[in-house]
Structure 1
């Protein structure tokens, strides 16, 4: 068996070394990952970082070069990530203990700052969860129980999100959304008592609305009667004979309303003079 020439063997070794160096110098960055180049424990470059104005296909993902054996690459998720929070017990302003189940979503917008402050995404999630839990307790503790069940809760969540974002920026993160999944009283007597108080409050509110409606109706009816009286007075003042006739007709309507009334009077009585026509009037 013929031995390979020494030059060929040396070339093969050099090629293998080059291939090994190239394999350690080229890194593939996926579309959904941000890459940080770490040299001697310090970040020296980034690739495919989050940009709000980024359009589809304009990312920095792909193959990148690094110094082999000198630099390492850390990957940070570029997607929006969930942040689950353990159910919290909060005391509302009306002295009701609430069990609040909330969640949030966040993304890493500055991977270098995240690496320098907390190091990993897991530790970042823990830190954000602690901040959000504290803010939820503070904000929800300022509200009544019925507010947590009303549309005003959306504005309250926006306030919490803005407050948490101010703290999250120090860790290179951004809170995208905060939501309350459930806000309930603990089961048992406190829950039933709260429902009874809410029912009583709604009944009192309904009674108040009905009383205001009845008062307004009386005012409107009185104003209408006064306007009618003024109209009648003006009309009757212009024609006294018509007024006398109208009053007689009203009296007849009241007297003979049931259809069976019998009246025994003298034909020349004042009450019956409208039956005699104009000739019977004095």
Structure 2
């Protein structure tokens, strides 16, 4: 039962009364299991980009969570698959994580030889203020592959959807100008096989070529060639920022075709 304003105020203590954490009254109760964080959304998105690698930088809790989530996924390839962790310790949190990430990256490139890396930060990175946009740019120049920063701090949002949105939005940096091939891109399908949908059947019946399918199944080359499409079909809000970027960058128009639209 929720407390009213007077009850909440009555439970508050003056700062002079607080000697330890036990003196701070609990105003709300934690929800179990609660919502997923953006880190999960980032992992879900990268799972659909076949020849890319997700590198999660954070404390052991966050890196363990991501690895345990992906280790049983066929999309990631099991224990030695496309999910890699860079685990920070107290020293890294105090003095910065850039050096450890750069050292780890050398090993990662030699072992995995990825076509693209999504460099995913977690809450502690955002709190200590390491500039992972600059780190990613430097690593991209050094190794000659796209290294794309994805910020997944949970203290600024409610669930995992921002992780999906930010991961597919940053893919715009990989896209290159292409001659139009009259295809359409499908943006924003989070789960399932697009080939089983009514929209897919309609496009096939009309003889329309389907290009990029992000994040439900594609390659890095598909992303690089995405600007060849004549139009983007957005089927979820998470893809609107990407569609808008593509319209600005390449002039590619988009239509918003959400789950409530009648084909």
TM-score, length-normalised on structure 2? 0.19
> Normalized per residue, which structure has more strand?
1
Structure ID, larger Rg: 1
TM-score, length-normalised on structure 1? 0.18
Q: Higher relative contact order at CA 8 Å, sep ≥6: structure 1 or structure 2? A: 2
> Normalized per residue, which structure has more helix?
1
